[in-house]
Chain A
Amino acid sequence: MREDIPPLTPSAGGPEALTEAEVAASRRRLRLDGLGIIASVSGFGLVYGLAARAAGFSPLEASAMSVLVFAGAAQFAAIGYVLGGFSWLGVVLLTAFLNARHFLYGAALAPYLADRPRPVRALMAHVLTDEAFALSIAHFRRIGRGDPTGYWWAAIATVFIPWNVATLVGVIVGGQIPDPTRYGLDVIFPAAMAGLAVGLIAGRRELVAAIVGAVVGVAVGLAWEPAAGIMAGGLLGPIAGLVTPPAGEQA
């Protein structure tokens, strides 16, 4: 095994397993990192609720979207599609397209969660979002194995609860909500994603994957659609990383 590549498949209890104190320290860091995400998710959950109310969604309909779809970009887009008079088939197909990137998240997390019972993994899948993936993959990489407690914290406490509570508040309270961009909350999402990406860079390959992912993402996003850009960056960045010789190895 190459020394620059940590083992992907977790080896809980193996000789390299961390102590409980080290796992607890990583969980503390996950909770701390999650605070900014909670602020961002709450701010945009409020805006989503407000936008849904303005588009004529009832509180039940807006909340059903946040519970059952639970994907911010697709939910915001759906409001526009409904207002624009799209057919439901069109809305559903566009939703599938916008959310295709989640496949990559599941594939990257699968080795860490393989020892969980299937029904638990099925539940874990429903709450897998950009933010949950970013926080949990960083945590798993720090401790070298999967950690369901950390995953649930990232997915439920940091994203699912704030997003759904904020949706309900937004759709009920309505126009009394201040614009979150006024408080810089819109910049927290990209800053958090970039910051967590930095935490995953341990060598030349990850660096190349990140740079190529970003460049391809922007290029395809500009040429076609941002969701396609994210998918293309997530697919092609790792290929560029794979063909990059690791540090200390000649091409």
Chain B
Amino acid sequence: MKTELVWLALLMGAVTYPWRAVPLLTPGMHRLPSRAQEYFRLVGPAVLAALAAVDVMVILDAERTPSFHVGVEWLAVGVCLVLVAARRGLLGGLVAAALITTLVRALNLA
């Protein structure tokens, strides 16, 4: 069995791990000044919203050139947001989003 890309995986893991580990292992990260603590408290909503928006609105072509995307995903994520805000439960929103997307694509409306 071919194994040479295992070494590439090791190198990729080696450059990914510090991003994950340094903040968790650095002493005093939980004793930062209150302004910095408040900043990191706001990272959660900011980065999750950025992940969602970029995933839905930015697509890459084969050459990794980004372009703006409008599609059924907007509706699906919007419905999920409304359901989560109304009921504070995520699973129902995710099921609704997947069903809407499946239905619209099956009907060739997207």
Q: Interface on A for B, CB 8 Å cutoff?
A: 5, 8-9, 29, 32-33, 35-36, 39, 56-61, 64-65, 67-71, 74, 77-78, 80, 82, 88, 91-93, 95-96, 99-111, 113-114, 118, 121-122, 124-126, 128, 130, 133-134, 137-138, 141, 181-201, 205-207, 209-218, 221-226, 229-230, 232-234, 236-239, 241-242
Contacts and interface: CB of A to CB of B under 8 A. Distances in A.
Contact of B23 (A5, A107, A205): A107
Given A61-B5, A74-B12, A91-B12, A195 B47 contact: no
Contact of A210 (B9, B41, B45): B45
Given A191-B76, A226-B60, A69 B16 contact: yes
B8 A233 contact: no
A100 B19 contact: yes
A111 B91 CA distance: 28
B12 A102 contact: no
A59 B22 contact: no
A217 B12 contact: no
Closest 4 CB pairs of A and B: A237-B46, A233-B50, A217-B50, A213-B46
B15 interface: yes
Given A8-B40, A99-B15, A125-B21, A193 B5 contact: no
Given A194-B81, A212-B46, 7 more contacts: A9-B31, A108-B43, A184-B101, A197-B44, A213-B53, A215-B53, A234-B47
A61 B3 contact: yes
Contacts of A82: 5, 8
Contacts of A114: 29-30
B6 A60 contact: yes
Contacts of A234: 43, 46-47, 50
B90 A122 contact: no
B23 to A, nearest CB: 3
A100 B10 CA distance: 17
Q: Which label, helix, strand, loop or mixed, suits the secondary structure of the A interface?
A: helix
Contacts of A91: 8, 12
Contact of B80 (A65, A126, A194): A194
Interface string B18-42: 0111111110011100010111111
B48 A193 contact: yes
A129 to B, nearest CB: 9
Contact of B3 (A58, A206, A222): A58
Contact of A237 (B16, B50, B56, B88): B50
Contact of A107 (B1, B29, B77, B98): B29
Of the candidates A95, A137, A191, the one having the most CB atoms from chain B within 10 angstroms of its own CB is A191
Given A126-B17, A190-B77, A214 B41 contact: no
A111 B30 contact: yes
Contact of B40 (A29, A57, A238): A238
A12 B99 CA distance: 40
